Structure 1
C-alpha cells in the first residue's frame, strides 16, 4: 500500500481501517474487528467456503503482521440473512446436527443489502417487497421485505443454490457415492470438482464466463445452450419461491455482472410471467445502462437494473463499527 512505485498511500496512517467482505464465520457473524477468535471461526468454516475463507484468512494475517496499527474489520455476508425466519433456515435433518452449524446461512449479503438500501432510496419508500437477483460469477436470489432478508437461494455454503461459474449449485448428496464408485475419486476429490470444475463450466465445457458460453450457444454448441437453460431455470425457480414467500413483489432487481449487462438473460428470466405481474419492456431492457427501469408500463412489479456496490456497504459497516467504539 505504501510502496513508492506501486502503492496508493504516502503513509499507512491515512487509513482508518481495512474492511473485508468476509464470507463465512459460522458461529461468528455480523461486523467484527478481526481477532484471533474471528480468524479461528473462519478457519472452522474453511471447508465450507474453500474458495473464499482461506485466501481471506491469509490476507488478514499478513495485514495484521505488516500493518498492525490499522484495525481490520470483517463484515460477514451471512449477517444480512440473520432475519430469515426459521422455516427458511433449517434443513430437514436431525435437529442435533444444527449444533454444528448445519443450516441455511445465505451469502452475497453486502450486495443484497445494497440493493435493499438503494431501491428504497430510488423509489422513496422502505415498505417494499424486493426480489434481488445477484447474477455474476457467483449468483444468488434474495427475497427482501421492508429492508430485511426473508429467503435466499444459497444454503450452508457458497456452493449451493444457483449454478455458479465453476461451483455446482443445488445438488443431491446421494449422488456422491455413485460418482465416487464410478470415478474412483475420494470424497475430498469429488467435493473439489463440485467446487471448482462444475457449475456453468462443468455443464458447458466451454468457460466460466457466461459471455463465452452464450456465444458458443449461439454458434450451435448444445452443451453451452444447456448450461444457459439450466442457469435461467434455476433463477426462475428461486424467483417463484421468492414471489410466494413475499406474497408478490413490488420490485424485481437485476444486479451483478450478468444481471447488469446481459439483457438476454433478463429476458429469459422474465419470459411468460405476465400473469404474475412481471412484464419486461424489450426496448428499455436492451438499452439499459447503469441504473435503469426496464419494466413495461403494464407490469405490476417494477423491474430495475441497479449496479451493486458491495464496497460501499463494507465501508459503511467498518466506519459504523469504529464509531461505536467496539
Structure 2
C-alpha cells in the first residue's frame, strides 16, 4: 500500500487529501486558508475527527511545514517517508501536456514556460510542488492538469477565429478546464449505468466556477471554458461568454484599465453581479423566494445559459445517452437541476423522477424516470481520487 498526498495550492489557500492506494481509502483531508492574512485557519479531518486551528502563517512554505507537522502530530502519518507520492493539481498544461506526468526538472521548466496562460493559477500550483519537493525527498511529485482531458478536441473546435498567427505565436486557443472532474464523471457513469450509456455524455460541472463538456466514447469533443476559466457559462463571480467589445466599452465609460475590467468580469460579475447579493446560489435563491427580482433574474439566466450549451452539445454529439450534474450546485441544488431540465426536456425527451431528484444531495444517483430517453445522473465530484490514481499509476511504473 502507498499513501498519496493530493495538493491543490491556491494563491492564499491549500486543499489536501491523503489517500491510501490502491484501495482508495481517504485517510485525511483538510484546508488551510487565508495564508498571509490575519487569522490563517487550518481545518483537518481524520478518523471521524475535525480539528480547527488558527495560526499566523505568512507564506506557503510555513503553511506546508505546518500541515506536515500536524499530520505527524495527530498520528495520521508516522513520518515523512510514509508518503510515497504527492500529486499537484495544475490548472493549465497548454498544448504540451496531454497527460499527467512526474515533475522532473525538464517538465517543471515546461510548466513555467506556460505560466502566462494561467497567471492567477499556475504559479500558486507550482509553489505547492516547490515546497513539497523540499519536504518529501523520497516521494515522487506528479502534475495533473485541468486542461489535459480536453486535448482530444478537434482543431476546428479549439481554434479561435482570430488572426491565426496569434495562435502560432502565443498558443491562443480553447483549452478548457475541470478535466479531472470530467474524468471522474466518465468513470462513474461507466460504473453506475454501464458502457451502453456512456457513448454520449454531457457533463455539467456546476460550482462557483462552472463548465460543461461534451464527451463521446470517453473523450472530450467540446467544452465551455476557453483559453481561461472566464469563458463559457455564467458562474458565481465570472461573466462567462459575452461580446468582446464590452471590455473596451466599460474601460472607456468607467475610465478603467483592461486589467480592471477583467477583474470585474472575473470577480464581480456572474450571479453576484446580476443579483447584487452573493455569488452563493443558496443566498440568491433565498432572496428570490423572498421576492427579490434581480435574484430571480440571476437564477433564470444561469439555468438558461446551461440549457443552451446542453442543446448545442446534443447536436454536436449526434444525440445523448447520459446527462450528468456534478460539483457543488450540480450535486446539491435540486431546484436548479429541475429548472435546467425543464428547458430541454421536450427537445431531448428527458423525464425526471421528481421525488428522487428532490431527495438527492451530495450523493451519486440516477434522477431520471425509467421512461426517460436520456438518463440523468448526479455524480459527486471527486477530483482528488483521479489525481491519486494517476500518482499511483506513475509510482507503479517506476517500481
Verify: 1:62 aligned to 2:134, yes or no: no
Paired with 1:35 and 1:186, the residues of 2 have a C-alpha distance of: 39
Matched, 1:211 2:282: yes
Rounded to whole Å, the distance in 1 between the matches of 2:331 and 2:102 is: 33
8 Å contact 2:84–2:138 — kept in the other structure? no
Match of 1:202 in 2: 273
Do the aligned residues in 1 keep the contact of 2:234 with 2:270 (CA within 8 Å)? Answer: yes
What residue in structure 1 maps to residue 395 of structure 2?
A: 322
CA shift, 1:274, in A, is 2.3
Corresponding residue of 2:153 = 84
2:389 is the alignment partner of 1:279? no
In the alignment, structure 1 residue 23 sits paired with structure 2 residue 91 = yes
Larger displacement relative to structure 2 (37-46 or 316-325): 37-46
TM-align CA RMSD: 2.0
State the distance in 2 between where 1:46 and 1:8 align. Answer: 34
1:14 partnered with 2:85: no
Q: What is the TM-score when the length of structure 1 is the normalising length? A: 0.93
2:167 alignment partner in structure 1? 98
| Structure with more relative contact order (C-alpha pairs < 8 Å, separation 6 or more) | 1
Deviations 1:57-100 (A, max 9, x none): 22222222333332211111111111112221111111121121
Aligned twin of 2:307: 236
Tell me how far apart the structure 1 counterparts of residues 113 and 303 of structure 2 sit (CA, whole Å): 33
Residues 240-259 of structure 1 deviation map (CA, whole Å, 9 limit, x = unaligned): 11100111111111111110
Distance in structure 2 (CA, Å) of the matches to 1:7 and 1:177: 56
* Matched positions, count: 326
Q: State yes or no: 1:260 paired with 2:328.
A: no
Match 1:156 to one of 201, 220, 227: 227
Is the counterpart of residue 120 in structure 1 residue 173 in structure 2?
A: no
* Per-residue Cα deviation, 1:100-124 (whole angstroms, up to 9, x for no partner): 1111111100111111111012122
C-alpha distance in 2, partners of 1:216/1:37?
52
Quickly say closer, same or farther: Cα 1:309–1:300, change in 2 above 3 A. same
Match of 2:181 in 1: 111
> Given the superposition, is the C-alpha separation of residues 121 and 291 from structure 1 closer, same or farther in structure 2, using an over 3 Å criterion?
same
**C-alpha contact 1:49 1:158 (8 A) present in aligned 2:** no
TM-score (norm 2): 0.77
> Which one of 298, 321, 325 corresponds to residue 227 of structure 1?
298
Runs (5+) with no aligned partner, structure 1 = none
Equivalent residue for 1:178?
Answer: 249
From the two aligned structures, give the one with the greater strand fraction: 2
The 3-state SS of whatever aligns with 1:271 is helix
How many angstroms does 1:10 deviate by? 2.0
Is 2:304 the counterpart of 1:304?
Answer: no
Structure 1: how far apart are the matches of 2:304 and 2:241?
A: 12
Asked if 1 retains the 8 angstrom alpha-carbon contact of 2:81 and 2:136, the reply is no
